[in-house]
Amino acid sequence: MTKQFDLFFVQRFKGKVLFGVPMSDYTSIRIGGPADVMAFPQDEADLADLLTFAASKNFPLFVLGRGTNLLVRDSGIRGIVVNMNEGFKDMLWVEGEKAISGAGVMLAGLLKECEEKGLGGLEFACSIPGTVGGAVVMNAGAYGGEMKDVVEGVEVLNRKGKKGFLTASEIDFSYRATGLPKDAIVIRAHLKFERKDPAAIAAKIKEFRKKREETAAVKYPSAGSVFKNHGLEPAGRLIEEAGLKGCSVGDARISDAHANYIVNAGGARARDVLGLMALVRDRVYSTRGIVLEPEIKVVGED
Ligand SMILES: Cc1cc2nc3c(=O)[nH]c(=O)nc-3n(C[C@H](O)[C@H](O)[C@H](O)COP(=O)(O)OP(=O)(O)OC[C@H]3O[C@@H](n4cnc5c(N)ncnc54)[C@H](O)[C@@H]3O)c2cc1C
C-alpha cells in the first residue's frame, strides 16, 4: 500500500500529505487514534485525481471538515482521510444575494461576510464551529434556523471523481441529517440570503450569543451536543433529569454546564466517551422510556 501511495503522492498529487497523524489533533474533542493517510487536496482536480486513485486501489476514504461533530475511535482511521480545509476556501458572490462557497470555508467567516454585506439568514450559525461542507452535510442549525433555509444546492464529487449538482430537494434535509448519497463529497454550496438591515443582523447575532451562555461555560474540549433532541424534549434536559450531570467514565465527563455535552477533561479516550454515551442511553431509557439518538458521528476502529 505504501509504495502505491508514494508513487501517486510524489508524481501526481499537488496537496500536502501526512502519514499516521493522530486524529486527536483534528477533532474539537481532542480524541482519536491515527489516520493512515491524511491528504489535503488543493482544488477540485486534485481531489478528483485522489478519488480516482483511491477507487482504483479500493482504499477506503473518510471526508473531514473541522472535526467538530466527530468522535474518532482509539485505533484511528484506516485508508485516506480527505481533509477539506486547505483547498476549498473559494467564495464567489453572485447577484448580490447569493454565494457559492467552498466546502472548506469556515461558517463563522461566511457569517461575517454576510454581516458586512447586509445579508440575513445565517445568523443562527453564529456559534456553530466547523466548515460550510460539514454544516450542509449535518444540516447544522440552532434557534429555529438550519442550513436547509439557505442552501439552494451543492456541487459534489462522487468516489470515482465524477462531478454532479444536487438541488436542495435532492439533498433531502431533515433534523441534523441529509439524504445525500453516501459517496458524495460536497465541494461547494450554493447559498441564498436576504437583504436585511445590518443593525438587525447584528442584534439577532447578539441575542443568539446571549442564549449560548450555558454552552459557552463548557470549558473543556467537546464535540457539541452528543445526542439529538427527542421531538420537543431537549436531550440535555432528559440527561439532567436522569441525574447524570457531572457523571464520568475515565476522563470523559458529562458537562456540569450543559448535560448534552460530553467533555474531554484531560486524557479521555473514545472508549470512555462511548461508555458514557451507553450509560446515558440506558439511564434515559429506564427513566423516561426514550431512546436517545446520537448527533455526533462515530468513526474509525476500536
Ligand atoms: C462547541 C460546539 C458547539 C456546536 N454547536 C452546534 C449547534 O448549535 N448546532 C449544530 O447543528 N451543531 C453544532 N455543533 C456541531 C458541529 O459544529 C456541526 O455539526 C458542524 O456543522 C460540523 O462541521 P465540521 O466541518 O466540523 O464537520 P466534521 O465534524 O468534520 O464532519 C461531520 C460529518 O460531515 C462529513 N463531512 C464534512 N465535510 C464534508 C464534505 N465536504 N463532504 C461530505 N461530507 C463531509 C464528515 O464525514 C462527518 O460525517 C457544535 C460543535 C461544537 C464543538
Question: How far does residue 69's CA lie from ligand 1's centre (Å)?
Answer: 4
Which CATH number goes with the domain that contains 56? 3.30.43.10
Q: Are residues 98 and 193 in the same domain?
A: yes
Q: Are residues 76 and 99 in the same domain?
A: no
Q: Are residues 188 and 157 in the same domain?
A: yes
Which CATH number goes with the domain that contains 162? 3.30.465.10
pLDDT band, very low/low/confident/very high, at 245 (cuts 50, 70, 90): very high
Given 83, 117, 140, which residue is the final one in a domain?
Answer: 83
Cell of 46: 486534485
Dihedral of alpha carbons 237, 241, 245, 250, sign: negative
Atom of ligand 1 at shortest distance to CA of 63? 47
Tell me how many domains the chain contains: 3
Q: Which residue, by CA, sits nearest to atom 50 of ligand 1?
A: 224
pLDDT digits (tens, 9 = 90+) for 34-85: 999 999 999 999 999 999 999 999 999 999 999 999 999 999 999 999 999 9
Which CATH number goes with the domain that contains 287? 3.90.78.10
Q: Are residues 116 and 140 in the same domain?
A: yes
Q: Which domain holds residue 254?
A: 220-299
Q: Which residue, by CA, sits nearest to atom 15 of ligand 1?
A: 69
Mean pLDDT, range 101-125, rounded to an integer: 97
Q: Are residues 120 and 163 in the same domain?
A: yes
Q: Which residue, by CA, sits nearest to atom 36 of ligand 1?
A: 134
Q: Give, as one character, the DSSP assignment of residue 132.
A: H
Q: Are residues 116 and 33 in the same domain?
A: no
Atom of ligand 1 at shortest distance to CA of 140? 11
Ranges of H-type helices in the chain: 2-11, 44-57, 107-117, 132-138, 168-171, 198-211, 213-216, 235-241, 270-288
Given 171, 187, 211, which residue is the final one in a domain?
Answer: 211
Q: Are residues 109 and 197 in the same domain?
A: yes
Residue to probe by mutation, ligand 1, list 27, 38, 72, 138, most atoms within 8 Å of CB: 138
Q: Are residues 64 and 126 in the same domain?
A: no
Q: Give, as one character, the DSSP assignment of residue 125.
A: G
Q: Are residues 169 and 107 in the same domain?
A: yes
Question: How far does residue 92's CA lie from ligand 1's centre (Å)?
Answer: 22
Question: How far does residue 6's CA lie from ligand 1's centre (Å)?
Answer: 31
Q: Are residues 257 and 190 in the same domain?
A: no
pLDDT band, very low/low/confident/very high, at 124 (cuts 50, 70, 90): very high
Dihedral of alpha carbons 64, 69, 72, 73, sign: negative
pLDDT digits (tens, 9 = 90+) for 187-239: 999 999 999 999 999 999 999 999 988 777 788 999 999 999 999 999 999 99
- DSSP letters of 176-187? TB----TT-EEE
pLDDT at 213: 83
pLDDT at 217: 73
Mean pLDDT, range 141-167, rounded to an integer: 97
pLDDT band, very low/low/confident/very high, at 10 (cuts 50, 70, 90): confident
By C-alpha distance, which of 21, 40, 37 is closest to 85? Answer: 40
Q: Are residues 44 and 24 in the same domain?
A: yes
pLDDT at 2: 62
Q: Which residue, by CA, sits nearest to atom 51 of ligand 1?
A: 224
- Does the beta carbon of 34 sit less than 6 angstroms from any atom of ligand 1? no
* Residue 1 confidence (pLDDT) above 60: no
Question: Helix or strand or coil: residue 248?
Answer: strand
Q: Are residues 72 and 97 in the same domain?
A: no
Given 176, 211, 246, which residue is the final one in a domain?
Answer: 211
β-bridge mates for residue 146, sequence order = 141
Mean pLDDT, range 104-118, rounded to an integer: 97
- Does the beta carbon of 103 sit less than 6 angstroms from any atom of ligand 1? yes
pLDDT at 216: 74
* Residue 100 confidence (pLDDT) above 80: yes
Q: Which residue, by CA, sits nearest to atom 7 of ligand 1?
A: 128
- Which positions ≥6 away from 67 have C-beta within 8 Å? 23, 26, 27, 28
